[in-house]
Structure formats: C-alpha cells, structure tokens
Amino acid sequence: MARAIPGRAIGMAKTATAAKTNGRAVRRPRHRSRQKAAWLFTAPALVAYAVFVLYPMGLTMQYSLYDWDGVGPSTWVGLDNYAQVFTDPELLDTIFHAFELILYFCAVPVVLGLAIANTIRGIATTRLALAARTVLFVPQVIPLVAAGITWSWLLASDGLVNQVLSAVGLGGVTRAWLGDFGTALPAVGVIGAWVLLGLCTLLLLAGMSKIDPTLYEAARIDGAGPLREFFSITVPSLRQEIGVCVTVTVIAALASFDIIYISTQGGPGNSTMVPGLQIYRLAFFSREVGLASALAVVLMVLVLACVLPIQRLTREAR
C-alpha cells in the first residue's frame, strides 16, 4: 500500500484550515452587517420609546422627590411624598379600590370567558358561534367613554336595569347603583367586566383551537365526561392564554381611569376613587405634582409586582 507523504498532508491541512478561516471571516462581516441593519430598523422605535416612555418615567421619579406645584420653585423633600402615600388613609383607599376592582376586571372575565369559550367551541361550525363571537367582541370596539356614558344611563335610578327589576317584582332592591356608597364600586366593576369579557373569550377560544382533538377522543374512550375534559385537558392546555388574559385584565384594573372618570368621577365621596384618577386630581387640581408623581411610581411598582409573577409562571409552564 502507498503511504501518504507527510509534507503533502500538512499542506492539505493548512489549506483546509485557511478555507475555514476564510469562511469564518466571510461570515462574520455578514453577521455584523445584519446586526447593524437590525439596529437601524429598530432605532426609530427605540428612540420613540426612550422619548415618550423612559424619559417621562425618569422625570416622574425625579418629581416624586420634590414638593412642587408645577409652576413655581420646587423644594426637596426626599421620600416624604412616598411616606404620605402609605400613611394617608385617602390615598391608601384608592390603592385598595384598585385591588378590589381586580376581582371584577380579572376574575369575572377570565372565569366566564372560559365557560363561554368552551361552549362556543362545541358549536364552532354553526352561525350562532360566529354571532356570539361578534357580539362579545363589540365592547372592545366601543370607546370606553361611550361605554361609560351608556352604562351610566342603564344604572341610573330610572334606568333600564331598575325598570327590569321592577317589572319582575324586585322593585325593593332598585337604587342608583352608581350613586350608592355600597354599590358604586361593584357597579363600576361590572362595567369593566363587560368590556373585558369579549377579549378574554376570544383569546381563550383561539387557544382552544390549538388543542389536539385526539386528546378529547382519548378522554371520551376512557369514559371522561364534558366536565372532566374541561378541567383535565382544556384548562391545563390554556395556561399561556390564561396568563395573557390575567395580565391584561390586572393592568386594566390597576390603571383604570376612563370608565370611572365618566361614570362616577370617583364618587360618591371617594368610594370609587382609584390611583389613576387620584393622580390626575392631585396633579391638575390640587397642584401637588410631587405627591402625584410618587403615587404614580407606587402604582407602576404595584403593576410590575402583580404582572411579573404571572409572566414567570406562564414561562415556566411552557
């Protein structure tokens, strides 16, 4: 057998190494050029985000450390504004009201959305399913101002809700739902639940369409009923969609403003006052910009504290 010449083998190895090196040298400039192109495309969005989000956020944090009326000179107060947020009963009540709204804005749309989406999935090929999806999504198209005005009429003392209750013999429970201290906040919560129900239902319905039908067939063969299928297959398969729904609705509850501003103005008294409306009043009516900024920072932290664990649980479930 012929033996390989060492010199030739070394030359071939050098050639192969040079070819690899040249290939890498060619790839690296291309990769870098692609990175530069990607940064160029994202630069406008990053600049807009920095100007309209990060910069105002930094100013808000700065203002929160001062006592300032928005016009005259400011006075450094350090963390006194934050101390007032957590010690003033009125400001604390606004935060508690926001967390109470989570029960209506989040729990009701998600739970009802699961039930409605599961029902629509069973009749997905009928015209009734299409009509139901359209009707449920209508609140997302209607401006929140219009929704607040409409519900203010419906829940008034002589509104349609009280007329229906009187017609069915429940006239003793009628009242001005948005004007009563005990029912104003739940009434606002009902409006928010109505607005968010359609969005949650469609998101959950889209998630149900991705579930493998063979899972349901196997469950039926094993003798599982509709209820067992729902809790053993449907709900576990919708963890990501449920996480999105909970995230969106929690943010809507904590940052609520439009519906409350239109329907109750924070009243009666302060029974429906929430942080978003309180920040607006402190900054533009009471001229306490520093205190309003501190409350805004606290609200941002609360939103992150509620949303980040939800996102982490959703990520772990993937």
Would you state the pLDDT for residue 10? 47
Per-residue model confidence (pLDDT) at position 5: 45
CB 82 within 8 A of CB 294: yes
Question: Which residues have CB under 8 Å from 130's CB, separation 6+?
Answer: none
Tokens of 125: 């090929």
- Is residue 23 predicted with pLDDT exceeding 90? no
Residue 2: is its pLDDT beyond 50?
A: no
pLDDT at 148 over 80: yes
Domain spans in the chain, listed from the N-terminal domain onward: 94-286
pLDDT higher than 80, residue 233:
yes
Confidence of residue 142 (pLDDT cuts 50, 70, 90): confident
Whether 227 shows a pLDDT value over 70: the answer reads yes
pLDDT for residue 3 is more than 80: no
pLDDT for residue 22: 52
188 pLDDT above the threshold of 70: yes
Position 251 pLDDT exceeds 90: yes
Give every CB contact of residue 193 below 8 A, 6+ residues apart in sequence.
Answer: 104, 105, 108, 109, 112
> C-alpha distances in angstroms, 235 versus 107, 205, 241, 306?
15, 12, 10, 22
Topology at the third CATH level for domain 94-286: MetI-like fold (1.10.3720)
Note the pLDDT tens digit of each residue in 56-99: 999 999 999 999 988 889 899 999 999 999 999 999 999 999 99
pLDDT at 279 > cutoff 90:
yes
Secondary structure of the chain in HEC code, one letter for each residue: CCCCCHHHHHHHHHHHHHHHHHHHHHHHHHHHHHHHHHHHHHHHHHHHHHHHHHHHHHHHHHHCCEECCCCCCCEECCCHHHHHHHHCHHHHHHHHHHHHHHHHHHHHHHHHHHHHHHHHHHCCCCHHHHHHHHHHHHHHHCCHHHHHHHHHHHCCCCCHHHHHHHHCCCHHHCCCCCCCCCCHHHHHHHHHHHHHHHHHHHHHHHHHCCCCHHHHHHHHHCCCCHHHHHHHHHHHHCHHHHHHHHHHHHHHHHCCCHHHHHHCCCCCCCCCCCHHHHHHHHHHCCCCHHHHHHHHHHHHHHHHHHHHHHHHHHHHCC
